[in-house]
Amino acid sequence: MRCLCSVVFLFVLFSSLGYAQTDTLRINSGLSGQTATLENFLSKLQVKQDPRITDMLIRHNQINQKRNGTDGYRLEIFFSSDTKAREQAVRVKNEFNLVFPDIASYMLFQTPNFKVRIGDFRNKSEALKAKAHIASKYPNAFIVKDNIRFPELFTESVEQNEEQ
């Protein structure tokens, strides 16, 4: 009895798998057919939403453009409020740029401290990797939330490789 139930179950399972990959909507009948079907579907699609949602999206977009950046993380490698803190911050920034030229560095003043922050990391794991990378030279570096520059989507080297 147990064997018979197993056989029936396997038969039903395998017979239904034969229809799993069939295109019952006929969407993938060809690239041009697929495009036409998609355009036909989208022309019939009606989105009902509160008009305030569109206004909020426009406002959100405007605010992000004014910020000139996005939320992210940086590593802070220096801060001081000494009398010669500015000179020290410039020296630390220049030393960092010599040792790690591939990581961007920034000097900023937040009363009463001069700070040197490095990197533009979108998530904390990227910042932790960079922290481990610079730990031998800057063991006291720590992660801070900051407004980072937008990441470059296409660099010149990628565009040049595509041309070749």
Tens of pLDDT, residue by residue over 99-141, are 999 999 999 999 999 999 999 999 999 999 999 999 999 999 9
Quickly name the fold that domain 70-148 has: Alpha-Beta Plaits (3.30.70)
- Distance, CA of 143 to CA of 125 (rounded, Å): 10
Give per-residue pLDDT as tens, 31-74.
556 677 777 877 788 878 888 998 998 898 888 778 778 889 99
Beta strands in the chain (DSSP E): 70-80, 105-110, 113-121, 142-148
Please report, as a single letter, which amino acid is at residue 18. Answer: G
The dihedral built from the CA positions of residue 118, 123, 129 and 131, taken in this order, carries a sign that is: positive
Q: Map tokens 């939330």 to a residue.
A: 145
Average pLDDT of the chain is: 82
Distance of alpha carbon 8 from alpha carbon 6, whole angstroms? 5
How much of the chain exceeds pLDDT 90, in percent?
46
Looking at residue 123, the DSSP 8-state letter turns out to be: S
Give the model confidence (pLDDT) of 38-48 as tens digits.
778 777 888 78
State the Cα angle at 137 between 134 and 141, rounded to 5°.
60
Beta partners for residue 144, in sequence order: 74
Percent of the chain with pLDDT over 70: 77
